[in-house]
Amino acid sequence: MLVDMGFSYNSGFGEFDEVLDSIIDDVKNLSYFDSGHVFYIFHKIIMVPFLYRAGVRSEWVREFIENRITTIHNFVSNNNYEIYDDIKKYKSIPPAYSGRLVIKPELYQNGNIQFPLEYDIYGFAEIRNDLDVNLKKKVDDIISYILDQQFQSIEDGYGLLYKGEEKYSYISMGWDPKTTDLLKEIRYNPLLLKLNQLAHFPRAICSEWFSEAMRTVSGYEKQDSIYDFPKEYLTEKDSIWILGNHMSMGENRRLKQSMTVEGTFWMLNILRLIENQR
């Protein structure tokens, strides 16, 4: 929330910097899994984009995101949407995962996940304007890949990761960066969050999905530049960020106008981002 409101690292807010310094040290130096584990660098995939968004410009942070761009682009540049392995090769899949597909292990060896995750797109959105022409083109190619209908048709959450012959061989994956399904119930529909993310990319702004989504949210304008969204658009609860569950800007939700203030903030920011790409 503080970052969305304009706070940034090394900008004079000492308490904010102290908290970030501790997080930066942990993200850079701690390893939560062995080097061969499928989640070996996953904590960095999650956290580094947020560090960049918060104004952290350390060389290792930038290099990590740029390496993710290159890794993912190497995979998507062939328009390869065949990410699943032959299910007959896998035994003893737990009943809880019955019917789910197994992602090819070569796509995440040593934790180097080659397909794009939601956190990657968040990081690319923040760094795009700071990239050279070559890397910016790669990001645009990745955005085109995830907007393609073939990508939209993959299993929600991707599927299962296979760790090898051990007691717990399968991990349920998640965090696919598919666009929000405009036909779903809004309580499963983090539409403002997704628009705010994709508005950083000219390739996304020009897409059919983006145009339809903007028509949907524009319908909640009750007067000039004031938006009154249903509460489901602005969920705030103890749950997952990427599902749009942390949309509060800190307003007192007991006050009627608080939702209007927060919804208008999100919408005006989306419109600002769109204008900046023109």
What pLDDT is attached to residue 4? 63
69, 96: one domain: yes
The CA-based dihedral angle spanning residues 41, 105, 142, 184, taken in that order and rounded to the nearest 10 degrees = -100
Q: Would you state the pLDDT for residue 96?
A: 93
Does one domain contain both 26 and 99?
yes
List all residues 6 or more positions away from 112 whose beta carbon is below 8 Å from its beta carbon: 40, 41, 71
Number of domains forming the structure of the chain: 2
Q: How far apart are CA 239 and CA 190, in angstroms?
A: 13
Given a cut of 80, is residue 41 above it in pLDDT? yes
Same domain, residue pair 154 and 190: no
Do residues 133 and 270 both lie within one domain?
no
pLDDT for the residue numbered 252: 78
Q: Are residues 134 and 196 both part of a single domain?
A: no
Indicate whether 161 and 270 sit together in one domain: no
> What are residue 243's DSSP bridge partners?
none
- pLDDT tens by residue, 15-25: 889 999 999 99
In a domain, 267, yes or no: yes
User: Do residues 101 and 150 both lie within one domain?
Assistant: yes
Are residues 117 and 244 both part of a single domain? no
Mean pLDDT (the chain) is 91
pLDDT, position 267: 96
Residues contacting residue 188 through CB under 8 Å, at least 6 positions apart:
243
- pTM reported for the whole predicted model: 0.92
> What residue numbers bound the domain in which 56 lies?
14-172
Residues in the chain, total: 278
The verdict on 127 and 48 lying in the same domain is: yes
* 127 and 20 both lie in a single domain: yes
